[in-house]
Amino acid sequence: MTISTRDDKRGPGRWAALALVLGLVGCQPEVLAPAKTAEPVPAPTMSEQLAASLEAELGRKAVPAIRLDNRLEGWRFICGRPEELTGDAFDYGSSRLAEAAAEGLVDDSFCALFETTSDGDRLREFFVGSTDTPVFDWMERYELPGDIFSE
């Protein structure tokens, strides 16, 4: 069957309107249904943020073994060393820091600075493997008391 608009005095606009209506009728119910309100997603825990930061910097999963955890005036300073998922010492040779590690330019440590908020601890700064600790920069930038960095 061929549809022609030549004999139709209402013109091609009628067919466009019909196509629009048919298109809407054919939509799936989810498209026309009102949007559902998403459940609030809880903020990641401090451990989750540390693990994600280690993985991002090292290029593979590692477990944060914390050795220092200081809290002071709404801030939290954490240091430790990455470990393999088995609990063994981390093998930097199979990480993004392999080249620097081979040259002896990697320190087996990480440090993180969290700001404590009503939603939990929010990661503000992080480093891993650096032989040059940026904590003095953090102290100045965030006006932190020096006591937060002491062991």
Phi, psi of 77 (to 5 degrees): -115, 125
Give the pTM: 0.71
pLDDT, tens digit (0-9, with 9 covering 90-100), for 44-68: 999 999 999 999 999 999 999 999 9
Phi, psi of 22 (to 5 degrees): -65, -35
Q: How many CB atoms lie within 10 A of CB 99?
A: 12
**Confidence grade of residue 1 (pLDDT, cut at 50, 70, 90):** very low
Q: Where are the domains of the chain?
A: 46-149
Phi, psi of 82 (to 5 degrees): -75, 145
Pull the structure tokens for residue 24: 């809407």
Percent of the chain with pLDDT over 70: 75
pLDDT, tens digit (0-9, with 9 covering 90-100), for 123-135: 999 999 988 888 8
C-alpha torsion angle, residues 31, 35, 36, 42 (rounded to 10): 120
